[in-house]
């Protein structure tokens, strides 16, 4: 149940309204005083409600400012991470190109070793045949 700053609850306002209805129906001589009392209670309760709503608004604005700062920090971190990711992606692409070149060099060296092995065997055969 809603509770205002001065301890005035919506239940008390409703009870005041019910008292107003009862007195206005059963005691017509005091009707004007009851109307005045009800208006005073209603005015007081709306002022309390207005005060509470303004206080809550201030609190919510503070929370919103805090969340905006947090969001800004998250955006900054995401931006830094994107930059790091781009740098690492570029570095990975360069490494891949270098790896492919090195792989071609290794294949060429293996091919050359294979040819030299064949040449070595041929020379050994010629040496045995000459002896």
In angstroms, what CA-CA distances link 12 with 43, 84, 110? 14, 62, 96
Q: What is the pLDDT of residues 24-59, one digit of tens each?
A: 566 555 555 656 666 666 666 667 667 777 777 888
pTM of full prediction above 0.85: no
Joined tokens for residue 110 = 């293996």
| Distance from C-alpha of 44 to C-alpha of 38, rounded to nearest angstrom | 10
Write 90-98 long-range contacts (CB < 8 A, 24+).
Answer: none
* Whole-number pLDDT of residue 3: 47
Question: When comparing pLDDT for 1 and 94, which is higher?
Answer: 94
């Amino acid at each position: 149940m809603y509770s205002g700053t001065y301890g005035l609850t919506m239940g008390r306002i409703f009870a005041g309204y019910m008292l107003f209805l009862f007195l206005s129906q059963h005691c017509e001589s005091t009707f004007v005083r009851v109307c005045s009392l009800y208006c005073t209670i209603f005015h007081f309760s709306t002022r309390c409600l207005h005060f509470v709503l303004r206080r809550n608004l201030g609190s919510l604005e503070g929370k919103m400012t805090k969340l905006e700062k947090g969001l800004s920090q998250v955006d900054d971190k995401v931006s830094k991470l994107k930059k790091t990711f781009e740098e690492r992606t570029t570095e990975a692409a360069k490494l891949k190109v270098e790896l492919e070149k090195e792989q071609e060099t290794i294949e060429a060296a293996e091919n050359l070793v294979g040819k030299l092995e064949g040449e070595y065997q041929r020379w050994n055969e010629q040496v045995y045949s000459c002896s």
